[in-house]
Structure 1
Amino acid sequence: MQRALRLLEAVGSHRDGAPAKQLAREAGLPLPTAYHLLRTLTHEGYLRRENGVFVYGPAAERLAGGGALQNRRTSIVESLAHWRDAIGAPVYFGIYRDGEIEIVAVSDTPDSPAVSEWADFRETAHAHAIGQCLLSQLDEKARRDHLDRHPVRPVTCHSVRDRSTLLDRLASMERMQPVVEREQYALGTVCAAIPITAGSGAATMAISLPAHQAGQLLPAVDRLRSEVGTLLRTLAFSISI
C-alpha cells in the first residue's frame, strides 16, 4: 500500500506525467516492482498511460474531489458554528440540486439540538421552512415537477394540507423574505429560513427553536439575514459542489 502511494505521489509531482523508470526512481522502488504496481493502479483506474507516461486516472481524480468536498463541508460547518453560538440556536444550510432538497450541513449543540429527521426531508419539503424556502426560489415548472414527484401530504396537524394551498403560499411569498413555519414538520418546533443568493442555484440558511421560544425566532433570523453576507463566499462553494 505504501509503495503504491509513493508512486501516486510521484505521478502527482509531474503535471504532464512521467515514464515508469522515472517514477520507480523517484519512489525508490525496484523497476520490476514499479512496473507491477503501475499496471495494478492503471487497471484499477487510479492511473492511465498516455504516450508512454503515466498520469492520474478517474479514480484518483474522484479521490481528490472527495477530499475537496470534505474540506468545503468542514468549512461550511465551521461557519455555521459561529452563528449557532451567536444566536443560540441550531443553524442549517440547504440547497436544491438535481431536483432534490439537500441539507448540506447542520450545526447544533447538545443543549440546542437540531430537528430530528423523522420524516425524509427530501420528501417533505412542503412541511418545513428549508423546503418551502427552496421551493419558493424555483420557477413554476420546476416547482410543480418537484411536487409531482413528492406529493403534498400532512406531516403534522399543522402542515399544509394540499398542493393548491402550498402553491398559493409559495406564490405569495415576498422575494428574499424569511419563510416561517410553526410545527408543520415537527410538533413543538418552529423554524425560519432565509433565501441565499450565492451562485445560480437555490440555497437557504435556517434556524429552529422550541415552540415555547417562538418569540425569539424572527429576531434571530433577522440578525442572521443582516450579517449573512460574511458567509456567502464559503456557502457559494457548496452550491457548485
Structure 2
Amino acid sequence: MALQHEPTAPHHSVQDALRVLETMARRTTPVTDTELARRTGLGQERLTPLLRMLRREGYVEQTAEGTYATGEALARLSSAHGHEEALREKLQQTLDRLRDSVGAAVYISRYVDGEVSVTQYADGPGTPKVNEWVDFRRSAHATAIGKSLLTQLDHAGRRDHLARHRMARLTSRTITSDRLLLSRLEAQPPTVPVLDLQEYAVGTVCAAVPITAGATVGCLALSLPVEHAYRLRRAADALNREAAPVLLSLAI
C-alpha cells in the first residue's frame, strides 16, 4: 500500500526543528542563537519561533547567559529505555495543552494494519469527546479522522479499505457512495483540514489534519458540539498550526 505524502507547514517546521536539535546534540556546550542560525542556515525570523516552541516543549533549555542547551524532554525521548512511555506522556501533555488552547476535545489517530485506531485523546467537562456510538474502525467514511487517514493512502489503499467496510448511513449527511467519497478524498488538499459536519453523529462537528511520520499514517483531530460549529474553522486552523509539536515527538 503506497502513501501519498505532500509536505505541509507542520512538516517543514519539524524538519527545521530536527536540524536545530541535531546541531545542538553535536555540541558539548550550550550554543548561542547566532551560532545556531549560522550552522542550520535558518534566519532569525525562522529560528526564533522554533526555539520558543522547543523551549515550551522541553526539548531545549535556555541558560542564564542566554545560550541554548538540549532539554530533559529530548533526553527522555531519545533514550531507548522507556521510550514508548515517555512518548505517550509527552503526547498527552501536548494534547492536554491543545485541548485548552483550541477549546475542544482533541485526538491522535493512526492507520494500523488497515484499520483506524484512536490512540490517545484529551477531553474535559467543557470539551466532551465524541460518543463512539459506531466503532471508528467501521465508520472511516463518515468521520474527519477516517477521511484524513484515507486521504493519505493511495487510490488502491482507499478502495481496499472501503471494500472491507460497508459505508453505512449514520446520519442524513453521511456519504454512502464510494464513488463520491473517493472523488472528494482525491480532491482534498493535504494542507486543508478535513471536516465532518454531523456525518458521523448528529450534534457533533469534527476536523482533522495529517501528522504522518515516516511510514505511519496518522492524524490530529478535534470535535465540537454542533452549537459551537461557528468555531470549527478557526479551531481547525489552530490545530493545523499546532500539529508540529506532535509530529516532532513522533519523529524523535
Normalising by structure 2, we get a TM-score of 0.65
CA contact (8 A) 1:151 1:163 kept: no
Give the Cα separation in 2 of the matches to 1:166 and 1:193.
Answer: 16
Q: 135, 150, 175: which one pairs with 1:135?
A: 150
SS of the equivalent of 2:242 reads helix
Count of equivalent residues? 173
CA contact (8 A) 1:137 1:202 kept: yes
Aligned to 1:217: 232
Unmatched 5+ residue regions in structure 2? 1-79
Which structure exhibits the higher relative contact order, with contacts defined as CA atoms closer than 8 Å and separated by 6 or more residues? 2
Q: 63, 81, 92: which one pairs with 1:77?
A: 92
CA contact (8 A) 2:211 2:246 kept: no
Give the Cα separation in 1 of the matches to 2:126 and 2:167.
Answer: 32
5 Å-filtered alignment, 1:1-241, equals: 68-236=83-251
Describe the shift of the 1:129–1:230 C-alpha distance in structure 2 as closer, same or farther (beyond 3 A): same
SS of the equivalent of 2:250 reads helix
Give the Cα separation in 2 of the matches to 1:152 and 1:66.
Answer: 43
Cα RMSD of the aligned pairs, angstroms, is 1.8
Aligned to 1:29: none
The offset of 1:202, in angstroms, is 1.4
Q: What letter corresponds to residue 99 of structure 2 in structure 1?
A: R
The offset of 1:200, in angstroms, is 2.4
Give the Cα separation in 2 of the matches to 1:71 and 1:174.
Answer: 33
Percentage of pairs with the same residue: 42
CA contact (8 A) 2:175 2:199 kept: yes
Q: What letter corresponds to residue 233 of structure 1 in structure 2?
A: L
Unmatched 5+ residue regions in structure 1? 1-64
CA contact (8 A) 1:90 1:208 kept: yes
**Superposed CA offset, 1:144-185 (max 9, x none):** 111111121211111112211211111111122110110011
